[in-house]
Chains A and B, each alone.
Chain A
Amino acid sequence: MTSGGLPVPGGRTRAADHRQESTNLADILERILDKGIVIAGDIRVNLLDIELLTIKIRLLVASVDKAREMGIDWWEHDPSLSSGQRDLAEENRMLRERIGALEAGRTAERDGGPREAEPVERSERDG
């Protein structure tokens, strides 16, 4: 669900074999989430609680960059997984605005809100 207007960060880098240099995130997570000595600390966070997340990661994410390169960016749109929830809300708000404007058969009134993400085209039309 990549929205068309978003810039692709860095574009598609030529994937020379970086595997030796930068350790694969999946390999790290496999080890630090699943292996290592299990002792009950004082702050009880049961990693099983996040099993769903780790399963998703196991399935889908090699490294965040690589995943993005592959077009896998669901966590950025999944409010339960992403800190980008606010962006989503903002995007929703703008989309609703656009839809409202289109349905009204005219362009949206500028409401003075921040529009850094996407300039709304606005034709100056006399009513």
Chain B
Amino acid sequence: MADALVYLYAVTDAGLPEPAVDAGVDGARVRRVVGHGLAAVVSSVDPVRFSEESLRRSLEDLQWLETTARAHHAVVDAAARSGPVAPVRFATVYLDDDRIRGLLAERGAEFGAALDRVRGRVEWGVKGFAVPSAAPGEPEPAPGAGPGASYLARRLAERNRAARGQEEALAAAEAVHRELAAVAAASRRYPAQDPRLTGRREEMVLNAAYLVADDEALRHVVEQHAAGTVRLELTGPWAPYSFATLEEP
């Protein structure tokens, strides 16, 4: 039987305790591989289920993907609770612990720099939704206009209002993003999620992540815009997924 493979979740400082999580992907125990002042957070995983072929197939299975994604996230999240963490992309798998130690040796300086960039900071997600414009006032019946013309005029007014609302919401989202970015150490934009994805009727006009030491300023900005044309939603704190990179941003 082939030896177990090693699934890598994240890299942390060597001094951090084991992440407090019951199990990782595929129910595997979570452990650390320490070397070069760093610790790789890993699990030994089944060599068949995590082979290239199986993984490729599994990734197309939404049930598997959800379960495994949540398990991956739980480990990274637990690791992030005790110190800086550099999350590694989903489904990064090595042959054995030696290969992991090799990685830490080879790219230790870069991992160290990545950890320094996020040290003492967490990621917050902010999504902004266009607030539907207030209920339209009674349409003014144009004097003398027939019912057909009134109807068309009303439709036109509605469409104009919707288009204007959309433009205003996008402009407002830009302004909000600038304010949020100003109180953050770094920021990243994501594409807006489709309404079918969010399950909401309002259009998403802002989808961004902010790296902050303290969420107070961020919350303050969000609260200030509570009554604005963009409804803001805060998610987090996240491990710094959006800001973990081996290159200087």
Which A residues contact B (CB, under 8 angstroms)?
A: 19-20, 23-39, 41-45, 47, 49-50, 53, 57-64, 66-67, 70, 72, 75, 80-83
Contact A50/B241 with A19-B235, A28-B69, A36-B89 known, Cβ cut-off 8 Å: no
Residues of A within 8 A of B89 (CB): 32-33, 35-39, 47
Question: What are the residues of chain B within 8 A of A31 when measuring CB–CB?
Answer: 73, 87, 238, 241-242
Contacts of B233 in A (CB 8 A): 19
* In the complex with contacts A36-B241, A39-B88, A62-B199, A45-B194 CB distance below 8 A: no
Docked-complex contact A25 and B88, CB < 8 angstroms = no
User: Would you give the 0/1 interface string for B232-249, flagging 1 where the beta carbon is closer than 8 Å to chain A?
Assistant: 010100100110111000
- Given known pairs A24-B235, A42-B99, the reply for A37 and B86 (CB within 8 Å) is yes
Q: Which residue of B lies closest to A46 (CB)?
A: B56
CB distance from B107 to the nearest CB of A (A): 7
Q: How far is the CB of B241 from chain A (nearest CB, A)?
A: 4
**A45-B52 contact given A59-B194, A62-B197, A72-B196, CB 8 Å threshold:** yes
Contact partner, A45, options B55, B94, B95, B242, Cβ 8 Å? B55
Smallest Cβ-Cβ distance to A66: which chain B residue: B199
What mask results when residues 46 to 90 of chain B are scored 1 for a CB within 8 Å of chain A, else 0? 000011100110011111111001101100100000000011111
B interface bracket (residues with beta carbon within 8 Å of A): 35 or more
In chain B, what residue has the closest Cβ to A85? B61
Instruction: For the A-B complex with A32-B241, A33-B89, A35-B89 known, give 19 more contacts whose Cβ atoms are closer than 8 Å.
Output: A19-B235, A23-B70, A24-B235, A28-B69, A32-B72, A34-B190, A37-B86, A37-B89, A37-B114, A42-B93, A43-B95, A47-B59, A53-B62, A53-B65, A58-B191, A58-B194, A59-B197, A60-B196, A63-B66
Can you list 6 A-B contacts with CB-CB less than 8 angstroms, sorted by A residue number?
A: A24-B235, A32-B89, A33-B69, A41-B93, A44-B52, A61-B62
Residues of B within 8 Å of A44, CB to CB, are: 52
Contact of A43 among B55, B73, B111, B197 (CB under 8 A): B55
Residues from chain B with Cβ under 8 Å of A29 in the complex = 65, 69
Residue of B nearest to A69 (CB): B199
B176 contacts A by Cβ under 8 Å: no
User: Are A32 and B235 in touch, CB under 8 angstroms?
Assistant: no
Indicate if B91 sits at the interface (CB-CB under 8 A).
Answer: yes
CB distance from A9 to the nearest CB of B (A): 13
Residue in contact with B241 in the complex, picked from A35, A70, A82, CB distance below 8 Å? A35
Closest to B47 in A: A43
- Chain A residues with Cβ below 8 Å from B160 are none
Residues of B within 8 A of A60 (CB): 194, 196-197
